[in-house]
Structure 1
Amino acid sequence: MYDRILFPTDGTEGANAALDHAIDHAVRYDAELHVLYVVEENLPVMEAGQAQLLEALEAEGERAIDDARDRAKAEGVDSIRGTVAGGSPYRGILEYVDDYDIDLVVMGTHGRRGVDRFLLGSVAEKVVRSADSPVLTVRAGEPDDEE
C-alpha cells in the first residue's frame, strides 16, 4: 500500500510526535522512510549574518534527520533517506512528494488556533490542501490558547 513514506520535520516536539506514526507505517508496510528538513531561506535577517544563520539551520536539520534516522533504525526500519533542502517549507514538502513519488506524508502540527494560526499560517494545512498523496497529521500536546 505504501512504498515511500515522507516524514517532514523541523526538529520540534510537534514534528517528533508524528515520527512514531511514520515509523509504525514504515515497519508495517516495509516502506522506505524519507526524512525531510526544509531550511526556510526567506527569513528577515541582516545580510551580514545570513550565511552563518543558514549554516546553523542546515546543521540543525542534519541533527534532526540523524535523530529520526536513529529512532527509525532502532524500531526496525531498513531503508531511510534523509534530505536537507532550502526554500519555503510547504513548497519544499510538496516538491519532494512529487520528485520522489511519495505515497504517504506523516507530519506533525502545532495545533495553533485563532490569531496565531491566521497570522502564521500552517505548513501542515497547506500540505493537506495541496498534496496529491494522503497526509496524516499528528497534533502534539494541547493547542495554544486562542488569544
Structure 2
Amino acid sequence: MYDAILVPTDGSEGVDRTLEHAITMAQHHDATIHALYVVDRRFELAADEDREDLVAQLTERGESAVADIAETAGAAGVDVVTSVREGIPYKTILSYAEDADIDVIAMGTHGRTGRDRLAHLGSVTDRVVENATVPVFVINIGDGD
C-alpha cells in the first residue's frame, strides 16, 4: 500500500516522533522513507551581502537534518532517500510528493517557529493537509522542542 513515505523535516526535535511512526509504517510496508528539508525562500528577504551566507547555513542545517533521518531509519533497516531543496515549504513538499510518487506524507503538528506553535497545526502542515493529493499522516508532537 505504501511504497514511498515522505517525512519533511525542519530539523527540530519534534521530527523524532514523526520519524518513529514513519519508520514503523515503512517496516510494515517494506517502504522507502524520503527525508526532505526545504530551505525556506524567506532568505530572499535578507540583505544581498547576507543572503549567500544565510542560504549556506540553512542548506547545511538541512543536510544535517536529512542525514539524521537517514541514520535513524537506516539503523532500523529502512531505505532512505534524502533531499534538500529551496522553495516555499508547503509548495515544495507537495511538489516533491508528486515528483517522487509519494504514497503518504508523515508530518508533525507543528514545526520550529513560534508562529507555527500558535495554531493547532503548523501553517506548513495545515497547507499540506489542505492541498495534498495523497494521504497526510499528522502526528501530534506535543509542545515542540
Give yes or no for TM over 0.5: yes
The answer for unaligned runs of 5 or more in structure 2 is none
Measure how far apart 1:83 and its partner are: 0.2
CA distance in 2, matches of 1:37, 1:142: 21
CA distance in 2, matches of 1:113, 1:88: 16
Match of 2:40 in 1: 40
Measure how far apart 1:81 and its partner are: 0.4
CA distance in 1, matches of 2:38, 2:143: 25
Measure how far apart 1:108 and its partner are: 1.1
Match of 2:9 in 1: 9
CA distance in 1, matches of 2:110, 2:119: 10
The reply on whether 1:71 has 2:72 as its aligned counterpart is yes
Map 1:105-116 to 2 at 5 A. 105-110=105-110, 116=118
CA deviation vs aligned residue, 1:54-110 (integer Å, no higher than 9, x gap): 001001001001110010011111x21000000000000000011011001001122
Provide TM-score, normalisation by structure 1. 0.87
Match of 2:103 in 1: 103
Q: What letter corresponds to residue 29 of structure 1 in structure 2?
A: H
Q: What letter corresponds to residue 137 of structure 1 in structure 2?
A: V
Q: What letter corresponds to residue 132 of structure 2 in structure 1?
A: A
Task: State the structure with more CA Rg.
Answer: 1
Give the paired residue count.
140
Match of 2:91 in 1: 91
Aligned residue for 1:110, secondary structure, equals: coil
Could you tell me which of 107, 119, 122 is aligned with 1:117? 119
CA RMSD across the alignment: 2.2
Provide TM-score, normalisation by structure 2. 0.88
